[in-house]
Amino acid sequence: MKIFIKFDFTQICTRVIDEKLEELGIKYRMLNFGEIEFLEDVPSDKLKAFDLILREYGIEKIENQKVILVQKIKDTIIEMVLNTDDTVNVKSSVYLSEKLGHSYGYLSNVFSEVTYTSIENFIILQRIEHAKSLMINTDLSLTEIAFRLQYSSVAHLSTQFKNTTGITPTTFQRIIAKRRALSDNKN
């Protein structure tokens, strides 16, 4: 038997961090996702223990300010892509600038300097990943997915999908359908 699971990485990470800080007896508060304020001086041995525990889960503390900003940009883009139902169709540059309090030019330069790719490419990758997730986990049509992800047309979604994955969305849907059929036949 095979089941499909949807992950909320934000919730998982927040829960792990909450549990581990509680276990270590460290007083804190969550400011934003990925941003914690310690409410007291934390001994270095507890900080080291916390770092080691987080690494076991693939989570690490960021200390470089540019890397921190890039992570905030990525988190904001993911939030923007996942919550397209709730947002008015606003340019991503305006959305990022308003959310992060920096000019888009500055955000773009820092992002490119740290990641060696552009914000636009990262947005496309996230939108395509979300489109794939919607194709796998919902019965939405390509038109509905294109609309939900704020593409101007299905053709635009299809072009970006093929440029990113190497196959068309329709081919991807056929592959998923065949895998499901094979999986159903095994059960």
Place of tokens 């299809």: 158
Q: Give pTM, 2 decimals.
A: 0.68
pLDDT, mean over the chain: 87
pLDDT digits (tens, 9 = 90+) for 44-87: 888 888 888 888 888 877 777 888 899 899 999 998 888 865 55
Read off the pLDDT of each residue in 11-34 and give the average, rounded to a whole number: 84
- 123/85 Cα distance (integer angstroms): 16
Give all domains of the chain, ordered by start, each with its CATH number.
1-61 (no CATH), 124-186 (1.10.10.60)
Task: Say whether pLDDT at 163 is over 90.
Answer: yes
3-class SS at 28?
Answer: strand
Q: How confident is the model at residue 187 (pLDDT cuts 50, 70, 90)?
A: low
Instruction: Quickly count: other Cβ atoms within 10 Å of residue 24's Cβ.
Output: 16
Read off the pLDDT of each residue in 33-46 and give the average, rounded to a whole number: 83
Read off the pLDDT of each residue in 26-50 and give the average, rounded to a whole number: 84
Task: Say whether pLDDT at 88 is over 60.
Answer: no
Reading the block at residue 135, the tokens are 């194709």
Instruction: Quickly count: other Cβ atoms within 10 Å of residue 29's Cβ.
Output: 9
pLDDT digits (tens, 9 = 90+) for 115-149: 999 999 999 999 999 999 999 998 899 999 999 99
Angle at 69 between CA 68 and CA 71, to 5 degrees: 65
Percent of the chain with pLDDT over 90: 43
Angle at 109 between CA 104 and CA 110, to 5 degrees: 100
